[in-house]
Amino acid sequence: MQILNQDTPIKGIIPPMVTPIDTKGKVDIQGVEKLVEHLISGGVHGVFILGTTGEFSSLDIAQKKELIASTCKFVNGRIPVLVGVTDVCLQGCIELSKFAERSGAYAVVAAPPYYMGIDQEELYHFYEQLANSIPLPLFLYNMPSHTKVSIDVETAVALSKHKKIIGLKDSSANGSYFQSLQFNFNDQPDFVLMVGPEEMLAETVLMGGYGGVCGGANLFPKLYVKLYQAAVENNIDEIIRLQKLVMSISQKIYQHGGYKSSYLKGLKTSLSFLGIIQAQFVPPLFPFEPNEVEELKVRFSKIASMIIE
């Protein structure tokens, strides 16, 4: 396995990888390998497993470890692997972080514990204890819609002083919050700020962000890499062209069926159209109905015809 340089800040497109599942509800190892190769051949700059898009909260510890080990094996050091270790239990975060390190991961990512109501002081001490107890660098993960608490800018700045805490992924979809982060980290260029919602990728990079954790990059990695590069190069005409395609995915695939889980259902089902994974989910989620699949296939085909070269 190649050794990646953890002293160089990670930049670019880091897809939040879906978790391939087979018809028996087990991690689909063949699907993991095919997806990893699809992403790497698409030029992504890293992968993030066991996030929201990876259905982490519905997987048991054995499934999580199997996914970590297989992903790191198939990646084989070609790109950084970031591992989500979010848990309501500090010890659970620590255990999974240590396993990720043994498997060859680059860093871990943790959202706040999402059951108990906590304030910023408690949040600070949670992350401090976690960073003190794990062998890998740590990314903070702001996901207030799911965790009931936002990582305040002041808390993020304070935590960034810890040598193990190297960045923050923001999935709040709050542009003002992210711009405030960027302003307050102007004097810390090595602290990596990544945005979750892909609709905000271009504007974030134009404003100095490091890149995006874009779900659609599971499907069309080259599209998101091109959009990132266009933003880095300040190529406005290309940004406008590519952004329209990203918005088509957001509107036509992520909202199909009207479910609260439509984003993930649309994403995994579309990947099945490419023959990369099966359209299977971990309970409580379930697949689209057959008529919904057929309707999505029509939408997907139209979008794919505009994207795939």
Annotated binding residues: 53, 213
Residue 118: its H or E element: none
Annotated binding site for pyruvate: 53, 213
Catalytic residue (choose from 124, 141, 228, 254): 141
Residue 201: its H or E element: helix 201-206
Residue 158: partners with Cβ closer than 8 Å, 6 or more residues away: 124
CA Rg value for the chain: 18
Per-residue CA distances from 155 to 23, 61, 71, 225 (Å): 43, 29, 32, 31
Asked about 169 being catalytic, the answer comes back as: yes
Catalytic residue (choose from 65, 169, 226, 268): 169
Phi-psi region of 82 (alpha: psi -120 to 50; beta: other; left: phi over 0): beta
One-letter amino acid of 154 = E
**Own/partner long-range contacts of 121-125 (Cβ < 8 Å, ≥24 apart):** 123/149, 123/151, 123/155, 124/155, 124/158, 124/159
Asked about 210 being catalytic, the answer comes back as: no
One-letter amino acid of 110 = A
Round to the nearest angstrom and report the end-to-end CA distance of the chain: 32
Lookup: tokens for 3? 């050794």
Answer for the pair 22, 62: CB distance below 8 angstroms, yes or no: no
Instruction: Classify residue 21 by its DSSP letter.
Output: B
Handedness of CA 28, 6, 199, 52 (dihedral sign): positive
Q: What residues are labeled active site?
A: 141, 169
